[in-house]
Amino acid sequence: MSDFETVAATENQAARRGVSGEPGAPSQVGAPHKPRSLAGDAWRDLRRNPIFWISLALVVLVAAMAAVPALFTANDPRDCLLSRQHAGPSGGAVFGYDFQGCDTYSRAVYGARASLLVGALSALLTGAIALVVGMLAGYFGRWVDAVLSRVIDVVLGIPLLLAAIVLLKRVSTSSDNARLFAVIFVLAVLGWTTAARVVRSSVITAKEQDYVAAARMLGAGNGRIMWRHILPNALAPAIVVLTIALGSFIAAEATLSFLGIGLKAPTISWGIDIDAGRVHMRESAIPLIVPSAFLALTVLAFIMLGDAIRDAFDPKLR
């Protein structure tokens, strides 16, 4: 056997054994390595982040509380008797009763629905406005970008709570649903600017990529390029911003309701209960502490979840 044949036979035996040298091991020579995507890397980091799991668990718990409050309490939050005013825990009322004889814990559980509904719908409407404005400004540039950027700057300079107070003062309606949607609309109209600026930056970066140039050369129109190629790249950073904004909207709704400008009784809301607990805190502090704790944990959970997702998707923080 020649030297060439000996070398070839040795390489064949090594290929059959595998790179590790163990018989039967799969060969790794020339095995293609699948490139990892940004989403894959982000998910890998999120799985190792305990803050992500803690905040996600709290968010799921609050969402379940808002969707099916009967799973967490059997008491009716509107079953109030003055004879139980500031009474201690009894009959499933684990935190006792408030100044009207209502179950404090039950009202806190049912209060999650209005607060979370306002936050979620405000975030969705904010995201829709931000995507439209940000994509138009970032993709077309020039005078479109100049005009929309000035609009963003003007709205960004308006204090959200102050403007919301002024606008909601003009709303005179006795309908609970109308009041709810008025709060959602006002928060969304005033709170979309930060997300729009993030979308605009993402679009400016994405439209310079080679795949966008290739799609344009193949005859794709502006609508197709924006929808199929640029929108997926703008969604991830927008979702991060909106997750954090959702917590801020919940806090803003509670503040407006606390001031008597947002939601009003008989709607059950954390802000309304905090205001009522503040008035009667000398008799008992529990009706003030319980809804305040529910509100603080919910807002903190959404902010922590948004921070964890942002850190996972930011390559500079890896």
The region of weakest confidence among 170-179, 183-192, 225-234 is 170-179
Q: Tell me, what's the pLDDT at 172?
A: 65
Q: Which residues contact 251 (CB under 8 A, 6 or more apart)?
A: 295, 299
Q: Of 2-6, 237-241, 296-300, give the range with the top mean pLDDT.
A: 296-300
> Tens digits of per-residue pLDDT, 86-117?
787 887 788 888 888 888 999 999 999 999 99
Is the predicted pLDDT of residue 285 greater than 60, yes or no? yes
CB 304 within 8 A of CB 55: yes
Contact indicator for 132, 234 with CB cutoff of 8 Å: no
Task: Report the alpha-carbon distance of residue 312 to residue 40 in Å, rounded.
Answer: 10
Lowest mean pLDDT among 31-40, 95-104, 180-189, 225-234: 31-40
pTM for the model: 0.80
pLDDT above 90 coverage of the chain, percent: 24
| Residue 15 token pair | 């290929």
Check: CB of residue 97 under 8 Å from CB of residue 84. yes
Q: Is residue 79 within 8 Å of 103, Cβ to Cβ?
A: yes
> What DSSP character marks residue 226?
I
User: What number is the average pLDDT over the span 127-135?
Assistant: 90
Q: Are 244 and 198 in contact (CB under 8 A)?
A: no
